Structure 1
Amino acid sequence: MTAPLQGRKREAARNDGAILAAARDVFLEDPKAPISAVAERAGVGISALYRRYAGKEDLLRTLCHDGLKAFIDAAKDGDDMNEGWDAFTTFLRAVVEADVHALTVHLAGTFASTPEMVADAMRANELVERLVARAHAGGRLREDFVVADVTMILEACAAIRLPDRRRSAELRRRYLELAIDGMDRDDADRLPGPPPDPAEMNWRWAKSRPGPA
């Protein structure tokens, strides 16, 4: 059993959580906002923020990596399920519920990634490929659905953003269910246009090149 944090350590952990929550809100509203806006929103001094993060890029990198880890966890949880269609759709619902892709859409290309992030991104892609393959193998997922379609659907859901957070989450769930219905093999009509190619998927990350090891 892990002992509870005491004194300064507990305060530091509380401050770090407040900083990350504030940073998410601030940068989703305005990716160009200064780091001082994060400190103000979190209710901490700028020195407390800089003790944890070297600067804005370091903070952005942490936010996005945390989102990537949440994505991987959702994919693993889905993959633990026996039936391929259930595994795939459970994963999609978990990612939309966590609002992971809102950060991807807003912050892509604003920081240099680390080797660990690159490795986690590759792992995430492998897990999604497996989930899609399993859903296809089960005969439920429409034949013309590809892995790249997953990213576009999740980003489309993340783009739904109203001032009321509860309503935003409700609408994301609504439109994900519409998308899931369209993925079902029972809808036999072919999709218009080809799926996205790698160049279309990766252009936003051109600036998020691996940083020094």
Structure 2
Amino acid sequence: MTTSSTAGRARQAARNSEAILTAAREVFLADPRAPISAVAERAGVGISALYRRYPGKEDLLRRLCHDGLLRFIAEAGRAAQEPDDWAAFEMFLRGVVEADVHSLTVHLAGTFTPTAEMRADAVRANDLAGALFERARPLMRPGAVLDDLTMLLEMCAAVPGAELRGRYVTLLLDGLRGGGELPGPPPNGAELNRWR
């Protein structure tokens, strides 16, 4: 086998991997109960190509959600470099909403067992988001808590289309900044924990 044919196969394998992940996101956001064969069909690859990468549906779901979690961490890390506290918080929220990582959380929570690595990354993500939230807290309405951020991100995930999500993240940011005390209690653990 020549070097060029090996490189060509590697490029094709990379394209197949990307096509599978893109298709899986589309298929499972539309129907979390969809069979894995629907992903192969949407990706335009054979089922054997999919199973070589992911032995089962749960493995594929884990990969999708872990990729989303890693994107969340990257957005938080990027925003943490911004010196202005509110601008950092806004950059983080806009980046996470634009990446649409919470759609996966909303639709796929409870459909697979998270790994120890995912749990550790979730703690890291929460710590990073918490630090950005605390930096911006003096500029927020009294009574806002970090758990409100989870619910706000999930609300944005329910909005169809990137342009509309951008509109509503702006409204949410404006609602968080300044103003009077928030009515009612913050969300409780049962309302937030979908990964049991």
- TM-score range, shorter-chain basis? over 0.9
TM-score by length of 1: 0.88
User: Is 1:39 aligned to 2:64, yes or no?
Assistant: no
Is residue 142–residue 184 contact of structure 1 (8 Å, CA) maintained in 2?
Answer: yes
- Structure 1 residue runs of 4 or more that deviate by more than 6 Å after TM superposition: none
Task: Specify which of 154, 168, 173 is matched with residue 166 of structure 2.
Answer: 173
Q: Output one character per residue of 1:115-170: Cα deviation in whole Å (capped at 9) or x when no partner.
A: 1100000000000110011112xx31223111101111111011012xxxxxx111
Is residue 102–residue 159 contact of structure 1 (8 Å, CA) maintained in 2?
Answer: yes
Identify unmatched segments of 5+ residues in structure 2: none
Partner of 1:164: none
User: Is 1:70 aligned to 2:78, yes or no?
Assistant: no
Q: Identify the range of structure 1 (193-202 vs 173-182) with the bigger mean alpha-carbon deviation.
A: 193-202
Partner of 1:211: none
**% identity of equivalent residues:** 62
Task: Specify which of 193, 196, 201 is matched with residue 192 of structure 2.
Answer: 201
User: Is 1:87 aligned to 2:88, yes or no?
Assistant: yes
Task: Specify which of 169, 175, 181 is matched with residue 182 of structure 1.
Answer: 175
Is residue 94–residue 166 contact of structure 2 (8 Å, CA) maintained in 1?
Answer: yes
**Residue pairs, 1:2-17, within 5 angstroms:** 6-17=7-18
> Which residue type is aligned with residue 189 of structure 2?
P
Residue-pair matches, total: 192
> Which residue type is aligned with residue 191 of structure 1?
L
Q: Output one character per residue of 1:28-70: Cα deviation in whole Å (capped at 9) or x when no partner.
A: 0000000000000000000000000011000000000000000
> What is the alpha-carbon distance in structure 2 between the residues aligned to residue 25 and residue 71 of structure 1?
19
Identify unmatched segments of 5+ residues in structure 1: 162-167, 207-213
> Which residue type is aligned with residue 101 of structure 2?
V
Partner of 1:153: 152
Partner of 1:142: 141
Partner of 1:52: 53
> Which residue type is aligned with residue 175 of structure 1?
Y
> Which residue type is aligned with residue 155 of structure 1?
E
Partner of 1:165: none
> What is the alpha-carbon distance in structure 2 between the residues aligned to residue 91 and residue 32 of structure 1?
31
More helix by share: 2
CA-atom RMSD in angstroms: 1.3
> What is the alpha-carbon distance in structure 2 between the residues aligned to residue 142 and residue 88 of structure 1?
14
Is residue 85–residue 141 contact of structure 1 (8 Å, CA) maintained in 2?
Answer: no
Q: Secondary structure at the match of 2:181?
A: coil
Q: Output one character per residue of 1:160-209: Cα deviation in whole Å (capped at 9) or x when no partner.
A: 12xxxxxx111111111111001112x1x22121101223211x211xxx
> What is the alpha-carbon distance in structure 2 between the residues aligned to residue 182 and residue 89 of structure 1?
12
How far did residue 9 of structure 1 move? Answer: 1.2
> What is the alpha-carbon distance in structure 2 between the residues aligned to residue 69 and residue 31 of structure 1?
21
